[in-house]
Amino acid sequence: MKTATAEPQLETRIYKQDTVLRFEEGLIGFAEYKNFILLENARIEPLRVLQFAGSPDVAFFVLDPKIRVADYYNQVPAREWESLGITDPTKRLAFVVVNIGLNAKECTANFQAPILVNYETMTGRQIILTDSGFCLRHPIVG
């Protein structure tokens, strides 16, 4: 998947179309925002920034949930992956939105509403896992 490298400060830029992730339905609570860029920066690894392509003012810290729950992708129903055209389990990619706490132990992530990505088509959607047992504020440290 193509990603951009985050500079020390996020700023509005023009991005190549092949680096823009398109969310037809937007994200939960942000339906009007459809195009995002996934930014990486070694200083915040393993976190990444999912930034609205139109403004640095709308951005979320995200994390690959496999870092905390190794079999997380298998707990997402196959129909959800298939809705994005992902049938090969090796092509699965997901992120969870991170809530930054005052310290590392207070940081949590929303494992109940992952963002699924098809990096071949650069499309994604956020879903809600109603029967997963995951919560909105799943600890990411510990």
Q: Are strands 123-126 and 108-109 parallel, antiparallel or unpaired?
A: unpaired
Domain ranges of the chain: 13-139
Give the pLDDT of residue 104: 86
Q: How far apart are CA 40 and CA 18, in angstroms?
A: 16
pLDDT tens for each residue of 89-111? 999 999 999 999 898 889 999 99
Provide the pLDDT for residue 10. 45
CATH topology of domain 13-139: BH3618-like (2.30.290)
In a 3-state reduction of DSSP, which class is residue 65? Answer: helix
Provide mean pLDDT across the span 56-63: 95
User: Is the model more confident about 6 or about 62?
Assistant: 62
The span from the CA of 4 to the CA of 15, in Å, is 9
Find how far residue 85's CA is from the centre of its chain.
17
**Prior bond of 46 cis (ω within 30°):** yes
pLDDT tens for 4-32 read 544 444 444 555 566 899 999 999 999 99
Mean of the pLDDT values across residues 42-66? 94
